[in-house]
Structure 1
Amino acid sequence: MKKQYSLLLLFLVTLFSFAQAQNDVIDKIVKEEETNSQLKVIAHELMDGIGPRLVGSPGMKKAHDWAVKKYESWGIQARNEKWGEWRGWERGITHIDLVSPWVKTLSGTQLAWSPPTPKGGVKAEVIILPEFADSLAFLKWLPNAKGKLVMISMLQPTGRPDYNWKEFATEESFDKMKKERDEMTTAWNERLRKSGLGRRELPAALEEAGAVGIISSYWSQGFGANKIFGAYTKKVPTIDLSVEDYGLVYRLVESGDKPMINLVAESKETGVVPTFNTIAEIKGTEKPDEYVMLSAHFDSWDGGTGATDNGTGTITMMETMRVLKKIYPNPKRTILVGHWGSEEQGLNGSRAFVEDHPDMMPKIQALFNQDNGTGRVANISGQGFVDAYDYLGRWLREVPRDIKKDIKYDFPGNPGGGGSDYASFLAAGVPAFSLSSLSWSYGNYTWHTNLDTYDKIVFDDVEDNVILAAILVYMASEDDKSTSKERRVPISRNGEPTSWPEQRSPTRKGGVE
């Protein structure tokens, strides 16, 4: 009896000591981030110092090299893994000036991969894509585009977001505006349809007919915000104008004022260039061939500086690694972080990593991905793993309440088929989880827009996300159990069983034919 009592006492003391050690690590993680956060420094160096990270651009390569050096300065091994090639392109100065019937510098920019203007720019009359009876009428009109700048987006009836109308307008006025906008949208889509060409083919047909440039406006339904994506022209520039300036020029054309624009766009092609993922690791001591992963895509569109898509995910994962290296330098399992290239063109970097490292996939304990903006984490799904509630629940119990109190959970959930890089790993059967954030008007104001810049980062929220990610990684690394990979049959929106997402190969040579 005395021997049994002694063994029980020893067990309890050991358990208590383990719990105390665990609590000590977690307390140190929280303290390090709250008192010594490097997020602002990292964000400034990346967003302000390097800028946007369009795949194939010099900025993307510069960012990869910077990240490796940054990790090495913290004593963390890092490398750039080549996974493919992409069309190389470098943005230059864009200057758009209305020169007649009066003078005004317009707010706009070249779309990504747009060809440049001739040296010194081009000065031309602006015309609007007219209405056509059918595709034959379009072909008959097409020679009129020669020597002109052609507007191919609809005129927006208002530059005020709906929430602004809802706050100040009468109900009747708001409804009238929405009805007018719906009718204008329908009419414009019909105008495009009657050309016989899709939105990708139309710019190409206009440049073949001799247009000297294409003008579009992809308003993001927010004050001052436009989406900036890629161009479909190969010979002449495509520019996007703000909703305000696009409307100005459009109305001048409609009223017969024959506006003239002087356009300078100095981009240049740089050939086919290599593309990379940046991988950093803290080697495990007991189970070095098992992994806990952090994940965030590194590339961005280049209308802004990619601050919330996905600069905030990037700095979250970099700062998490820094904190873990300082507080938890000898993890049980190897901790890896992947900064993926070309997510914006189809999850290419992460898909390449999964395809290139098949033996690693069954050994990943868990992966945590962050992508959708600067807000604190608000949603976590079990992604269809039957036992996700068990192990995620155990790990999350150690996260301070003020950080997790507003998180909503969905267990076991359904696997995500796309949207961000965790989906590449899910398709390979890896327990990969999205740390999904609060909106902060992400869709309207920063997602792929010209306003996605450093000043939109909410650092208090990002600090909370670092603490959350660091504790989840620590708990996953220390867990005596390996995570269950058992999956449920996914359920479609109409309640019918469906299939698990299939693993897809990346585009390894993009932007070139």
Structure 2
Amino acid sequence: MRRGTILVLFFWVIFLQVHAQEKNEIIENIIKEANENSQLKNLAYEMTDLIGPRLVGTPQMQHAHEWAVKKYAEWDISAENEQWGVWRGWERGITHIDLVSPRVVSLEGMQLAWSPGMKRAVTAEVIMIPDLADSAAFKNWLPNAKGKFVMISMMQPTGRPDYNWKEFATEASFEKMKKERTEQTEAWASRIQKTGYNPRTIVTALEDAGAAGIIASYWSAGFGVNKIFGANTKKIPTLDIALEDYGMLYRMVENGAKPQIRVLAESKELGEQPTFNTIATIPGTENPDEYIILSAHFDSWDGGTGATDNATGTLVMMEAMRILKKMYPNPKRTIIAGHWGSEEQGLNGSRAFVEDHPEIVDNIQAVFNQDNGTGRVVNITGQGFLHAYEYIPRWLSAVPREISTHIETSFPGTPSGGGSDYASFLAVGAPAFSLSSLNWSYFSYTWHTNRDTYDKIVFDDVQNNAILTAILAYMASEDPEKTSREKSVLPVNPRTGTQISWPTQRKATRKGGLD
């Protein structure tokens, strides 16, 4: 071997050793910063306690966007609020619901999002949808709704979740309860169907008949937890009342006690309001026109404060960006944090970004999205990309064992058609991956509920997710290879017997709630 060749090999070995040492130091510094200087609790406090829920079109959502830009500026990260559409502006005010007869007690409940407000408190009798023969009979009954609060939901036979029954009830008692609940559910569905309306359109009929308000109860199958979504009324308030109090009112109506409630439900209509994505950027140095996107939706429903849906995902991405800027300020590829608006109404912010920025989308190295609660990440799939098995495990190999040991991977997987913002990128063939989290009773207790609040955040898990995300972003940035977009042949759906097709792009709704 020639001397010159030996020298080249020597210096190449030295270069690789130095590069490996630098890589290890950056990863160690990321982990140390996350563990010793975490900003997660303060960020969570400011975002959930001070700003509160982030319903699209509300002042709170706008406040959140402005807060994020200022927070990024404190970390010397460039960020901007990018308008992509407009939405119906609305602001929640005070909701107070009191039973005043046959006894006095304050009830747990709230108006739904975009519910019409009241100028003054109204006291009126509570009635329920009757079980009538057909739509003609219901039409004849409708004048009885005038001036009344009308209950439109079934009374649940139990406020105990099934896991509680399974633990303590006899098997016979548990099966009996489930059978009765199924029968009640079918009977209530039949009651609504016979009116000639469905659960959505019946509120319009009651509103047109002069009802004082609509009362519903959308139980989430957990102790004391209800789902809180949007109102369909235009002139009268729509209220959700907690299962326990709703059941009490229902029994009073059923037994002829003619309960009366006093309701004050204040809100403001704010007209057409701009809606945004907050986009933060750490510019790349060697390949600035290739991108890693840290993705999480910023908006929430407003029954609670949107803590686990999706403040926790947002916190992960913000903390990862803060750490990367401090420990890896000159990435090879550009790293973007996308905090999307109006995910809850159909992935609108991320869909708009995909439509508006083809120059970014066409050059994405990877999208990492987190949006299913506060738990530690336990699953990453290849989302149908044939070669994802080559680079995802390589990136994960740099993650501390105590974090990666909990994560299952599966390749090539199948692409998601919806559910969260990574689907917006998948639909145009960009390599986007869900950092899927441990459940922590998410769907029963915090997903879109009145209990999705700061105290449900598990900060140890969120901190692990921030470390994971920062290291994945670092590894994706440093990877000498551009990720392949080659798609796998998707399998046959066993339910339908047809081959699964790649999801197609859907347009963002850029004008919402204003029709």
Q: Distance in 2 between matches of 1:488 and 1:135?
A: 52
Contact 1:489–1:500 at 8 Å: present in 2 too? Answer: no
Q: What do residues 133-159 of structure 1 show as CA deviations (whole Å, max 9, x unaligned)?
A: 111111111111011100000011011
Contact 1:489–1:499 at 8 Å: present in 2 too? Answer: no
Change (3 A) 1:200 1:492: farther
Superposed counterparts of 1:74-473, under 5 Å = 74-117=75-118, 119-473=119-473
Contact 2:316–2:462 at 8 Å: present in 1 too? Answer: yes
Q: What do residues 146-202 of structure 1 show as CA deviations (whole Å, max 9, x unaligned)?
A: 111000000110111111111111111111111110000000011111111122111
Instruction: Tell me by how many angstroms 1:490 deviates.
Output: 2.5
Partner of 2:505: 503
**SS where residue 91 of structure 1 aligns?**
strand
Q: Distance in 2 between matches of 1:489 and 1:235?
A: 52
Contact 2:117–2:236 at 8 Å: present in 1 too? Answer: yes
Partner of 1:28: 29
Contact 1:53–1:301 at 8 Å: present in 2 too? Answer: yes
Q: Distance in 2 between matches of 1:26 and 1:279?
A: 25
Contact 2:493–2:500 at 8 Å: present in 1 too? Answer: no
**SS where residue 267 of structure 1 aligns?**
strand
Q: Distance in 2 between matches of 1:489 and 1:256?
A: 63
Q: Distance in 1 between matches of 2:409 and 2:436?
A: 11
Q: What do residues 205-236 of structure 1 show as CA deviations (whole Å, max 9, x unaligned)?
A: 10100101000000101011100000011100
Instruction: Tell me by how many angstroms 1:8 deviates.
Output: 2.4
Contact 2:148–2:211 at 8 Å: present in 1 too? Answer: yes
Unpaired runs of 5+ residues, structure 1, are none
Contact 1:489–1:497 at 8 Å: present in 2 too? Answer: no
Q: Distance in 2 between matches of 1:203 and 1:260?
A: 20
Q: Distance in 1 between matches of 2:512 and 2:32?
A: 44
Q: What do residues 5-51 of structure 1 show as CA deviations (whole Å, max 9, x unaligned)?
A: 33322222211111111111000000000110000010000000100
Instruction: Tell me by how many angstroms 1:2 deviates.
Output: 4.9
**SS where residue 79 of structure 2 aligns?**
strand
Instruction: Tell me by how many angstroms 1:362 deviates.
Output: 1.5
Q: What do residues 84-116 of structure 1 show as CA deviations (whole Å, max 9, x unaligned)?
A: 000000000000000000000000000000011
Q: Distance in 2 between matches of 1:389 and 1:250?
A: 55
Superposed counterparts of 1:464-483, under 5 Å = 464-483=464-483
Partner of 2:74: 73
Q: Is 1:53–2:54 an aligned residue pair?
A: yes
Contact 2:493–2:499 at 8 Å: present in 1 too? Answer: no
Identity, % of aligned pairs?
Answer: 67
Q: Distance in 1 between matches of 2:104 and 2:270?
A: 34
Q: Distance in 1 between matches of 2:314 and 2:196?
A: 42
Q: Distance in 2 between matches of 1:497 and 1:154?
A: 39
Instruction: Tell me by how many angstroms 1:361 deviates.
Output: 1.2
Instruction: Tell me by how many angstroms 1:381 deviates.
Output: 0.7
Instruction: Tell me by how many angstroms 1:314 deviates.
Output: 0.4
Partner of 1:16: 17
Partner of 1:40: 41
Instruction: Tell me by how many angstroms 1:489 deviates.
Output: 3.0
Unpaired runs of 5+ residues, structure 2, are none
Q: Distance in 1 between matches of 2:493 and 2:140?
A: 47
Contact 2:298–2:340 at 8 Å: present in 1 too? Answer: yes
Instruction: Tell me by how many angstroms 1:411 deviates.
Output: 0.4
Q: Distance in 2 between matches of 1:46 and 1:401?
A: 31
- The list of structure 1 runs, each at least 4 consecutive aligned residues, that deviate by more than 3 angstroms after superposition, is none
**SS where residue 380 of structure 2 aligns?**
strand
Instruction: Tell me by how many angstroms 1:204 deviates.
Output: 0.8
Q: What do residues 431-478 of structure 1 show as CA deviations (whole Å, max 9, x unaligned)?
A: 000000000000000000000000000000000000100000001011
Q: What do residues 346-389 of structure 1 show as CA deviations (whole Å, max 9, x unaligned)?
A: 00000000001112211110000000000000110100000001
Alpha-carbon RMSD across the aligned residues, in angstroms, is 0.9
Alignment-mate amino acid for residue 280 of structure 1: A
Instruction: Tell me by how many angstroms 1:491 deviates.
Output: 2.5
Contact 1:308–1:447 at 8 Å: present in 2 too? Answer: yes
Q: Distance in 2 between matches of 1:22 and 1:298?
A: 32
Instruction: Tell me by how many angstroms 1:428 deviates.
Output: 1.1
Instruction: Tell me by how many angstroms 1:58 deviates.
Output: 0.6
**SS where residue 360 of structure 1 aligns?**
helix
Q: What do residues 291-322 of structure 1 show as CA deviations (whole Å, max 9, x unaligned)?
A: 11100000000000000000000000000000
**SS where residue 158 of structure 2 aligns?**
coil
Alignment-mate amino acid for residue 446 of structure 1: T
Q: Distance in 2 between matches of 1:43 and 1:506?
A: 29
**SS where residue 92 of structure 1 aligns?**
strand
Contact 1:324–1:470 at 8 Å: present in 2 too? Answer: yes
Alignment-mate amino acid for residue 81 of structure 2: N
Change (3 A) 1:164 1:279: same
Alignment-mate amino acid for residue 71 of structure 2: K
Alignment-mate amino acid for residue 334 of structure 2: T
**SS where residue 358 of structure 2 aligns?**
coil
